């Protein structure tokens, strides 16, 4: 049950900020971080592979792992939660309201669903950066010809353009998120365990500034007691329903 006040808050907000996490992609078949990795890679701990130290120690292993993740994601399609986010952006933008999607996800399924105002807080597995010349470009070729993949320009080793544990988030993403938060009239946190900062801090920032906050998650999280409304459910079901109600209200 979505509280009518939450529906009205989405309908009336001058600007909406939506933060998404792995739970939004889960219904597309992309495993969340806190799920155990299945199959070939089950024996590897993501928190140990997704680090600069792991890549330094074994760039072949880490780039093979990311190539496996890219192949997994390439087989996944956006789900109704992704489509509802894109539709909400189009609807609000058509009414000259603000909309920003902050995502922790690196799969670009939001892009595939048609979202445009996206801030990739943790980068993307489709972006690869050369450690030699710094060239950064989207690379959807699969599988890689060699591990680690090499730069076509300088022959340097390329790494995934994602934020690894222990690394700072891209300044441009942080700046864009802060700009979005300044004008925010309602903050939605969807499909995230709200454990990893700074992403997990935006809901607290909104709450501290008296901005209505709405959480949609399959299970309670540390922000559930704090937010204005906490809805326990699947993003692929609740987000489309929230959008339908807001558009009809």
Which positions are annotated as active-site residues? 122
CB atoms within 10 A of CB 179: 12
CB nearer to ligand OAD: give 221 or 228. Answer: 221
Which of 15/105 has CB closer to ligand OAD? 105
The SS3 of residue 188 is strand
Q: Report angle CA 234, 240, 242 to the nearest 5 degrees.
A: 95
**In the chain, how many H helices and how many E strands?**
10, 9
Residue 26 or 176 having the CB closest to ligand OAD: 26
- Give the CA radius of gyration of the chain: 18
* Cis ω before 148 (30° cut-off from 0): yes
Kindly list the strands in the beta sheet with 98-103, ordered across the sheet, starting from the edge strand earlier in the chain.
118-120, 98-103, 15-20, 186-190, 213-217, 229-232
Closer CB to ligand OAD, 98 or 198, in the complex? 198
Site residues (CB under 6 A) for ligand OAD?
Answer: 21-23, 26-27, 32-34, 50, 104, 122, 163, 191-193, 195-196, 217-219, 221, 234-236
Distance CA 30, CA 16 (A): 26
In terms of Cα–Cα distance, which of 230, 232, 228 is closest to 212? 228
Min separation Cβ 203 and ligand OAD, Å: 12
Least gap, CB of 137 to ligand OAD (angstroms): 21
Min dist CB 49 to ligand OAD, Å, is 11
């Amino acid at each position: 049950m979505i509280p009518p006040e939450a529906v009205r808050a989405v309908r009336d907000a001058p600007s909406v900020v939506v933060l998404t996490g792995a739970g939004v992609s889960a219904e597309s078949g992309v495993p969340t971080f806190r799920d155990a990795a299945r199959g070939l890679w089950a024996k590897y701990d993501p928190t140990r592979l997704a680090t600069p130290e792991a890549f330094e120690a074994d760039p072949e292993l880490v780039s093979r792992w990311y190539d496996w993740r890219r192949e997994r994601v390439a087989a996944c399609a956006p789900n109704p939660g992704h489509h509802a986010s894109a539709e909400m952006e189009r609807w609000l933008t058509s009414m000259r309201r603000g909309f920003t999607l902050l995502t922790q996800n690196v799969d670009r399924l939001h892009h595939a669903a048609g979202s445009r105002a996206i801030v990739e807080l943790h980068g993307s597995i489709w972006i690869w950066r050369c450690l030699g010349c710094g060239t950064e470009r989207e690379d959807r070729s699969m599988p890689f010809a060699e591990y680690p993949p090499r730069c076509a320009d300088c022959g340097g080793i390329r790494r995934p353009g994602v934020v690894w544990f222990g690394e700072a988030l891209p300044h441009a993403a942080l700046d864009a998120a802060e700009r979005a938060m300044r004008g925010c009239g309602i903050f939605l946190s969807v499909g995230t365990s709200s454990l990893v900062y700074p992403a997990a801090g935006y809901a607290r920032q909104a709450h501290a500034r008296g901005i209505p906050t709405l959480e949609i998650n399959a299970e309670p999280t540390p922000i559930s007691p704090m937010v204005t409304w906490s809805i326990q459910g699947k993003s692929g079901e609740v987000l489309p329903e929230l959008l339908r109600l807001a558009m009809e209200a």
